[in-house]
């Protein structure tokens, strides 16, 4: 983006749109772990370098892991990732803070590296799609607790926990399985 910003202010005869279309349509995407692709521009002193991270690097997550460790202690995070997600259980995260919920879903999913999540992943489950909690097998969903007393999705799920589901309350750090505190 820095190169394109500099190009937009240069006195080049080539319009910026043409440079962007050249980047999108003609420049190859570098392979993960492969060599970088250099794209020279006539008005720039140095070429634009396009690079993909190595294959064995940790996944790129533009979030701070402090978010998840501020909400949950280390043994709880390890239990969720290794004990539930790796074993393909139904994991439901619930929080009153939507941003925390979405961040924790992404961060917990990234901790599965070098494995990928094979289960359906819905970081923000809404009421019309509540039936996905009844799917056989694993699911990983996040539910925003909007504070509605009886009609809210979070309260419906808390009162009638789907079979074989694990509910993680991000606000309190508790794990509930079939209505019982996970020990």
- The predicted pLDDT at position 179 comes to 47
Residue 11 has phi, psi (to 5 degrees) of -100, 45
Q: Answer yes or no: pTM beyond 0.75.
A: no
The percent of residues in the chain predicted with pLDDT above 70, rounded, is 93
- Alpha helix positions (H), the chain: 2-8, 16-25, 66-71, 74-78, 98-110, 153-159
The percent of residues in the chain predicted with pLDDT above 90, rounded, is 22
Confidence of residue 164 (pLDDT cuts 50, 70, 90): confident
| Ranges assigned E (strand) in the chain | 37-39, 48-50, 90-95, 121-122, 139-144, 165-169, 174-177, 180-181
Confidence of residue 178 (pLDDT cuts 50, 70, 90): low
- The predicted pLDDT at position 181 comes to 47
- Alpha helix positions (H), 32-140: 66-71, 74-78, 98-110
Tokens standing for residue 67: 């978010």
**Higher-confidence position of 43 and 170:** 170
Query: What single-letter DSSP state applies at residue 14?
Result: S
- The predicted pLDDT at position 141 comes to 93
Angstrom distances, CA of residue 80 to CA of 2, 55, 85, 94, 156: 40, 25, 6, 13, 22
Alpha-carbon distance of 177 to 179, in angstroms, equals 5
pLDDT tens by residue, 45-97: 788 888 887 777 667 778 888 989 999 999 999 988 888 888 888 999 999 99
pLDDT tens by residue, 134-149: 888 889 999 998 877 6
Angstrom distances, CA of residue 176 to CA of 7, 90, 156, 182: 55, 12, 14, 5
What lies within 8 Å, CB to CB, of 145 at 6+ separation is 94, 95, 96, 152, 154, 155, 171
pLDDT tens by residue, 100-123: 999 999 999 988 888 888 888 999
């Amino acid at each position: 983006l820095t190169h394109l910003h500099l190009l937009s202010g240069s006195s080049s005869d080539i319009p910026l749109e043409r440079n962007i279309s050249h980047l999108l349509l003609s420049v190859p995407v570098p392979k993960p772990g492969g060599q970088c692709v250099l794209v020279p521009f006539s008005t720039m002193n140095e070429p634009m370098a396009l690079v993909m991270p190595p294959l064995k690097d940790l996944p790129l997550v533009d979030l701070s892991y402090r978010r998840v460790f501020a909400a949950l202690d280390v043994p709880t995070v390890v239990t969720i990732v290794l004990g539930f997600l790796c074993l393909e259980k139904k994991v439901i995260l619930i929080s009153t803070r939507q941003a925390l919920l979405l961040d924790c879903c992404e961060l917990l999913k990234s901790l599965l590296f070098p494995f990928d999540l094979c289960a359906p992943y819905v970081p923000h489950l809404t009421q019309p799609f509540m039936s996905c909690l009844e799917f056989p097998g694993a699911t990983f969903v996040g539910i925003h607790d909007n504070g509605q007393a009886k009609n809210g999705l979070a309260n419906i799920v808390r009162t009638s926990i789907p079979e074989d589901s694990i509910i993680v309350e991000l606000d309190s750090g508790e794990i509930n399985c079939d209505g019982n505190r996970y020990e």
